[in-house]
Chains A and B, each alone.
Chain A
Amino acid sequence: GESVGLHLPTLSVQEGDNSIINCAYSNSASDYFIWYKQESGKGPQFIIDIRSNMDKRQGQRVTVLLNKTVKHLSLQIAATQPGDSAVYFCADRAYGQNFVFGPGTRLSVLP
């Protein structure tokens, strides 16, 4: 993930709508990618991961899409719920190296 400065991007969605959170990474050698959810006062919680030999992976209400050509990762949350309100960030890693974390996006779910 790339650091984009002090201001955390914010995404506001209506309850029940789908959410799409985006992430750019810079290392073309990265082969493993993770999305984390972080609630206020808590540590990051694993949501879903994807390996570089895949373009798409689905979990429960979440889908991760990987575009290696433009080094872009997205997280789609279906039927967004109030409990989905949190900061979401991506992490990428090249083989044998440490994870690089993005700054995150704050998702707010409106009633």
Chain B
Amino acid sequence: NAGVTQTPKFQVLKTGQSMTLQCAQDMNHEYMSWYRQDPGMGLRLIHYSVGAGITDQGEVPNGYNVSRSTTEDFPLRLLSAAPSQTSVYFCASTDRGGNQPQHFGDGTRLSIL
């Protein structure tokens, strides 16, 4: 049981480039989310999804797009990378039944030059 898998683990981009961060979970969880983690700050929610075909914005959505075509996958797209998007990105999933903790992947470390 792999849990939440994120790829790639590391990536360096130039300003203006686009890329997709991949996230997949094998727990049949309905709820998935993307966070960014910056030094000294708590995880900040970028986008989330409560099920296939449904997405919504979190606290810091600007510059990012998401889609949810299947229960398993929830990719995050950077449209035109900016240095301010240098961060560590985490994907998480949880079952929607009642109060449940989120399961996190090991993150993608992204640097924008």
Contacts and interface: CB of A to CB of B under 8 A. Distances in A.
Contact of A43 (B33, B45, B99, B105): B105
A39 B42 CA distance: 15
Contact of B58 (A44, A98, A104): A98
Interface string B38-53: 0111111100100000
B71 to A, nearest CB: 19
Nearest to B109: A41
B41 A3 contact: yes
Interface in A40-58: 41-46, 49, 51
Contacts of B104: 36, 43-45
A6 B42 CA distance: 10
A13 B48 CA distance: 37
A100 B48 CA distance: 14
A101 B40 contact: no
B57 to A, nearest CB: 11
Interface string B91-113: 00000000101111111000000
Nearest to A52: B99
Nearest to A90: B42
B90 interface: yes
Contacts of A44: 43, 90, 104
Contact of B101 (A1, A3, A8, A49): A49
A89 B40 contact: no
A5 interface: yes
Interface of B: 4, 33, 35, 39-45, 48, 58, 90, 99, 101-107
Interface of A: 1, 3-8, 31-32, 34, 36, 41-46, 49, 51, 89, 91, 93, 98-104
Given A4-B40, A36-B104, A103-B42, 7 more contacts: A8-B39, A43-B105, A49-B101, A93-B99, A100-B42, A101-B35, A102-B42
